[in-house]
Amino acid sequence: MDKAVFDEFAAEAERQNKTIFAFASESLHSVAKISEEGGRSADLYHMWRTVALLKEMDVITLPSDFVDEMIAGQYALNKAALLRRFSDLGNRLVGILKIVATDLEELEALAKDFAAMLPIKEFKIKNDPDGSVEIAIVGAGRRIESTECSYEFLASVLNGYGYNVMKREINVGTIEIFAAKRGST
């Protein structure tokens, strides 16, 4: 074992008031169970980080079909109010997101961590030298209503990171955004 890893491991065992042997047994047991069920030990940290962030945001998870139906119902009743709620949600959560992901590159990595738990299939950010970005998302909703709500959420998050949306393309389940950093163009 690498000395730096061993030192970090030993320090954590001490923080938890456990012997290195007890902490190693517990850790290896968890990794073995994850591997036994088809998981990869390399995913363990990312899953923990995702669950910790969801807990911090006080998120509850529901089946996506159920959520899509609820959104469609609210969309039919008052589209403007629903889209505003999703924008407000992005505005409220961007502060927490920026603690974990200080820039868009880290936000892209965070989205990949979340992909294991959310219906997002793809989240890519392409940075251009002029300070603009192109963001492509696949799996942003199963209906146009939920995809539009996802867009409103993302646009407000981008605003919180200092970007203005210049152009957007929205289709059922897919969003493509072209945005520029404020002050760069």
For 141-153, write each residue's pLDDT tens digit: 889 999 999 999 9
What is the structure's pLDDT at 175? 95
What span, in angstroms and rounded, lies between the C-alpha atoms of 12 and 20?
A: 9
Residues in the chain: 185
> Span 21-29, mean pLDDT?
92
What span, in angstroms and rounded, lies between the C-alpha atoms of 91 and 95?
A: 8
What span, in angstroms and rounded, lies between the C-alpha atoms of 106 and 121?
A: 18
> Span 121-150, mean pLDDT?
90
Q: Report DSSP state, residue 132.
A: E
Cα dist. 78→16, 19, 88 in Å? Answer: 51, 59, 16
Tell me the β-bridge partners of 88: none
What is the structure's pLDDT at 145? 96
Cα dist. 161→22, 62, 104, 106, 180 in Å? Answer: 43, 28, 8, 12, 11
> Span 52-79, mean pLDDT?
89
Delimit the domains of the chain by residue range.
3-39, 53-181
The residue type found at 180 is A
What pTM does this model have?
0.76
Q: Is the Cβ–Cβ distance between 155 and 87 less than 8 Å?
A: yes
The residue whose two tokens read 């936000």 is 107
Backbone angles phi, psi at 177, to 5 degrees: -125, 135
CATH assignment, 53-181: 3.90.1520.10
